[in-house]
Amino acid sequence: MAIKYFLPVTPGLRGKAINDYRELTKKEPERSLIKGKQRQHGRDMYGHISARRHGGGHKRKYRMIDFRRDKYDMPALVKALEYDPNRTANLALLVYPDGEKRYILAPDGLKVGDTVVSGAQVKSQLGNCLLIENITAGSFIHNIELHPGRGGQMCRSAGTFAKLLGRDGNHVSIQLPSGEVRMVPGKCYATVGELGNKEWSNENWGKAGRTRWFGEKPRSRAVAMNPVDHPMGGGEGRSSGGRHPCSPKGKLAKGFKTRNKKKYSSHAIVRSRSKKR
């Protein structure tokens, strides 16, 4: 997608840059694939704030997406490309020969009228979903499973992809967008191609009001608070905090490793993202 820029006719248009959504072919979602979404506004089951700066925003409908792609060896026609307010990537509406419709994440380059298929040994081409062990080495993949049959869990954001490096026994090594190299079981499924809407990261909403539409509330700097509100608050005049950057509960925020050393998935990491690439 191309980025649309605006002249500073009003203060809200100064610096504004958004997607023009030319690739999208349908405005209204498929009614059979949506359901209501109850928003929590950052509250837990007791109504207490557990995630700060959440609240408000436009009402959304949740699109049910097929992350498993478990309709095997049945070609599907790409009927439309649609916008999804719940994620950065766009959606592709598939129609199968038996009349069933499903949403998938739209890879870059997929067009209306194309045909995609899912199966263990289908062709390794754009939009097809197959076993990772059968995908050509060096290919770009997304919507990657971590456990067979669980559905895609990695590389689902706009413009992201992982690179398939090679096969080692029953596992396949892939390089993630962060630079981390990880081993994944070869019996897991993944979709060929990189996700579309790559220009999403270049958007500039232009005004604070648009941020509120997306459900984000204003945030106050920690050093501007009082000592009772934040560990970095207080001080005379414009102080810099006086201590290492941390959360309201005192957990260090920069230069402090937070990953659990005993985490089960650590054995699958060949090269950490924190090491030099």
Predicted TM-score (pTM) of the model is 0.90
Do 23-201 and 220-277 fold alike per CATH?
A: no
| Res. 53: pLDDT tops 90 | yes
Backbone angles phi, psi at 19, to 5 degrees: -70, 145
Delimit the domains of the chain by residue range. 23-201, 220-277
- Choose among 190, 221, 261: nearest CA to 53: 221
187-210 average pLDDT score: 94
DSSP β-bridge partners for residue 143: none
Q: What is the pLDDT of residues 122-152, one digit of tens each?
A: 999 999 999 999 999 999 999 999 999 999 9
For residues 116 and 96, give the distance between their C-alpha atoms in angstroms, rounded to a whole number: 10
Instruction: Look at residue 277 and tell me whether its pLDDT is greater than 60.
Output: no
The two three-digit tokens of residue 146, written as one number: 């971590």
The confidence score (pLDDT) of residue 175 equals 96
Annotation: CATH topology of 220-277: Ribosomal protein L2; domain 3 (4.10.950)
Question: What pLDDT does 68 receive?
Answer: 96
CB 206 within 8 A of CB 214: no
Distance CA 54, CA 57 (A): 9
Which backbone phi and psi does 202 adopt, to 5 degrees? Answer: -95, 5
Q: Does residue 251 register a pLDDT over 80?
A: yes
| DSSP H/E element including 190 | strand 189-192
Structure tokens at 43: 């509250």
- Give the per-residue pLDDT at 276: 56
Span 250-257, average pLDDT: 86
CATH code, 23-201: 2.40.50.140
**Region at 42 (left for phi over 0; alpha for psi -120 to 50; beta for the rest):** left
Instruction: Show the CA angle centred on residue 166, arms to residues 164 and 153, nearest 5°.
Output: 40
Look up residue 138 and give its DSSP letter. T
Q: Give CA–CA dist 73/116, Å, rounded.
A: 10
pLDDT of residue 215: 94
